[in-house]
Amino acid sequence: MSVKREKLIETALELFAKNGFHATGIDTILAHAGVAKKTLYSHFRTKDELILAALRQHDGEFRNFFMKNVEALADTPEERLLAVFDVAEAWFSQNNFYGCMFINAVGEYSEEGTAIREVCKEFKRLMHSYMKSLAEQAGIKEADELASELALLLEGSIVTAQVSEQRDKAAKTAKRVAKTLIDEANS
């Protein structure tokens, strides 16, 4: 694929994360990426298509980052369910942490059923699916229920880290509750 296209998506992701989608203009993206306007519009028909491509790429990249780190931090499925919140803490402490891009996107695009919303919904579905598979591998009976509970905790910690700026505490509180829930589901 084109290196210009990749540069555009990379730049767009940074600016969308920091300043939001509506507040980030095409010209700003072009200036930061060092790409001409015509090149952008040869790769993407509209700004919305660029947003969509950026979100789709971030979906893949982020889940890859997340799973790779979970698997590096712990070996057993049960330990990995807990490690999710260690990875979250490391994520929150990055200096370019601006919350979850998919949550932020839904805040700006409220119309249900649109492509942008569906990508965000799918990302959350896949994160839930990942935690459910870990729970199943750990031999937990109510794997789906536990995954929903842990997903809720993860969302809560992301938003608390973003809004209340208590990043370490948000992750640690979520992890403490997660431990309680995993122990309970295992008994």
Q: Which of 65, 176, 179, 186 binds its own copies (CB under 8 A)?
A: 176
Q: Which of 36, 90, 126, 152 binds DNA (CB under 7 A)?
A: 36
Residue 77 found at the interface with its own copies (CB under 8 A)? no
Shortest CB 36 distance to DNA, Å? 3
Residue 129 found at the interface with its own copies (CB under 8 A)? no
Q: Tokens 């839904």: give the residue.
A: 106
End-to-end CA distance of the chain: 50
* CB of 36 or CB of 152, closer to DNA: 36
Q: Which of 63, 106, 115, 129 binds its own copies (CB under 8 A)?
A: 106
How is residue 93 annotated by DSSP? T
Rounded CA gap, 151 and 156, in Å?
A: 9
Q: Is the dihedral of CA 119, 122, 128, 134 positive or negative?
A: negative
How is residue 94 annotated by DSSP? S
Shortest CB 64 distance to DNA, Å? 25
Instruction: Kindly state the tokens that stand for 33.
Output: 């990426």
Partner touching 173 among its own copies, DNA, none, CB below 5 to 8 Å by kind: its own copies
Q: Are 119 and 102 in contact (CB under 8 A)?
A: yes
Question: Which residue ranges make up the site for DNA (CB under 7 A)?
Answer: 2-5, 24-28, 34-39, 41-43, 45-48
